[in-house]
Amino acid sequence: MQIRGAQESDKDTVLGFCKDTFSWGDYIVDVWDKWKSKGGLYVLEEDDLVVGVYHVTSLEKEAWIEGMRVHPKHRKKGLGTSMLTHAESVIQNKVIRLIIESENYPSIRLVKSVGYDIEEKWRLYTMVPQRQESSAEIVTSPSQLDHIITSSTYADSWKWLPLDKEETDHLMEQKRIIISTKSEKVLAAGIWNRSNDFPQIFQLGFVSGTKDGILDILRYVQNKAHDLNCERIQVFVQEKISLEEDFLDKKSLFYLMKKKLY
């Protein structure tokens, strides 16, 4: 067994065993070129045959693992564990996060067996871009966010990034934090982004606050996605926040998993 950096000649083999990962296929075909160009894309060989793949993004203090796949005929042989071990040897001395669909029991058991814990549970919703009336606006002062940000992470292109003061300030500079107010009181806050890997998708990577405030932000997002000609909107919400609205299509529940290497 060997784990090495992915090569262009590996692409067809990997896409071949990934094409039926989910009922709708797999997103690896959409991100392979970008991941390979950025680095951090690895394949696992067994008997000179590529049977596994994963991608790692390493930031200053955090790292993100995604796209881990094993050929269906080579599962239950410990290859997933081998790739996680390799990833940790590459990353070193950082916090690692990854996301798993809540009903993917084999993957959950795998990552728990090597020390990952559930950090947070997130629900995915989708909605359609369209013109809506909204009074939400871009935040202008850090004080407006006091006590309204209720998470230590937020979703950005299917990566959950740390939501500390430095990142919040950076998001404010990019005008990506939205607030809904009434009588100068902040009711809700949200963070929007365009997916780097899927530019046709508009994302709301975090939202919290009162029901009325959240609905106001959702309408703002529908407007912005419409203006940007996006095809659809993904809304990521902590499970503790219930959103039961007719215009929201409720999708899967995901577990955000975390492990500290120090």
Pair 142, 33 in one domain: no
Which CATH number do you get for residue 182? 3.40.630
- Tens digits of residue pLDDT in 159-176: 999 999 999 999 999 999
Pair 153, 193 in one domain: yes
Q: Specify if 105 maps to a domain.
A: no
How many domains does the chain contain in total?
A: 2
Q: Specify if 118 maps to a domain.
A: no
Angle made by CA atoms 149, 158, 197, in degrees to the nearest 5: 130
Picking from 92, 109, 133, the residue at the C-terminal end of a domain is 92
- 261 and 108 in contact (C-beta within 8 Å)? no
Query: What is the model's pLDDT at position 60?
Result: 84
- 84 and 97 in contact (C-beta within 8 Å)? no
Q: Is the dihedral of CA 145, 146, 147, 151 positive or negative?
A: positive
Pair 72, 164 in one domain: no
Picking from 77, 92, 107, the residue at the C-terminal end of a domain is 92
Pair 129, 211 in one domain: yes
Scan for tokens 């994963």, then name that residue: 54
Q: Specify if 74 maps to a domain.
A: yes
Pair 137, 253 in one domain: yes
The whole domain housing 218 covers: 124-260
Element (H, E) at 217: helix 211-227
Pair 176, 228 in one domain: yes
Query: What is the model's pLDDT at position 22?
Result: 86
Which CATH number do you get for residue 67? 3.40.630.30
Pair 151, 254 in one domain: yes
Query: What is the model's pLDDT at position 57?
Result: 94
CA torsion angle 219 220 222 225 (round to 10): 180
Residue ranges of the chain with pLDDT lower than 50? none
Query: What is the model's pLDDT at position 242?
Result: 87
- 195 and 204 in contact (C-beta within 8 Å)? no
Pair 135, 249 in one domain: yes
Pair 133, 228 in one domain: yes
Q: Specify if 185 maps to a domain.
A: yes
